[in-house]
Structure 1
Amino acid sequence: ELKKNMKSKNGLPLKVKLDTKVKAKMGKLKTPNVGIRVSCDGIRVHLPVGKKPATASTSNVKCNVDVRFKIWKWTV
């Protein structure tokens, strides 16, 4: 199926999943680490031809962002 998608004019479908941690400040409360999980679906990448860079189509992208608080040993 990968070869079939590589040769199609629509390009390859791509899913992106990203986990990162940030420090957050809410009023006087400072949190050491808050996890953020971002997942995007619907990105189409066209394979490069020759020395041209690959191009991506992001017109129908749907992204979900989840904020993950850690309370003791549990992640909410």
Structure 2
Amino acid sequence: VYLYDDFTVTAATAANAVPLGEATVPGFLHEANNITVIKATVTAAALGVDPTAASSDIKKSGTFAITLDLETKAGVKVGGLKTKKIGIQVHCDGIKVAAPAAAPAPAKKKGVKLTAPEPSAAVDDATTSPPAATTVARVCQVRIRVKIWKWTF
């Protein structure tokens, strides 16, 4: 049985590493002959994007590439023996995310002047959903962090 602590998940744009948000996934036990799927919703409080700096990929296809980084500690349990947990970092790229759709513009009424809402206006979370992420067959890089202390006197 593999024992995993909580996962920290962070997302950033692949092109220039602009942070997009983070999430935490609860730890779990991974038993033999089992496949575990980890799902996380990465959120950020506020994120401003300069529309003039948007890449041509977003303009053409409506998608952009992101990277995901996961970090946790894991150990192994065999019978009654448990190992110490070691740090694990996972880096995945090649993930394509659809840019969120713009809200439809309200219909204009004759003789009424419409103005855009303030940028700091609250967004109704019940009507918005996160964009879908897709990926092609990519391999994530896994790095194991082991600290070895050797003291000699």
Output the TM-score relative to the length of structure 1.
0.67
Taking structure 1 as reference, are residues 52 and 20 closer, same or farther at Cα in structure 2, changes over 3 Å only?
closer
1:30 partner letter:
T
Q: Whose relative contact order is higher, 1 or 2, with alpha carbons under 8 Å and at least 6 apart?
A: 1
- Runs of 4 or more consecutive aligned structure 1 residues displaced over 3 Å after TM superposition: 23-29, 50-53
2:83 partner letter:
K
Contact map agreement 2:75 2:82 (CA 8 A) in 1: no
Aligned pairs (5 A) from 1:1-76? 2-4=53-55, 5-9=57-61, 11-25=63-77, 28=81, 30-31=83-84, 33-49=85-101, 50=103, 51-72=128-149
Contact map agreement 1:42 1:62 (CA 8 A) in 2: no
Point out where structure 1 has 5 or more consecutive residues left out of the alignment. none
Q: Name the structure where strand makes up a greater proportion of residues.
A: 1
Percent identity between matched residues is: 35
Q: Secondary structure at the match of 1:62?
A: coil
Distance in 1 (CA, whole Å) between partners of 2:146 and 2:78 is: 13
Query: Over alpha carbons, which structure has the higher Rg?
Result: 2
Point out where structure 2 has 5 or more consecutive residues left out of the alignment. 1-14, 16-52, 104-127
More deviation, 55-64/37-46? 55-64
Taking structure 1 as reference, are residues 11 and 60 closer, same or farther at Cα in structure 2, changes over 3 Å only?
farther
Distance in 2 (CA, whole Å) between partners of 1:60 and 1:10 is: 20
> Post-superposition shift, 1:39?
0.5
Output the TM-score relative to the length of structure 2.
0.38
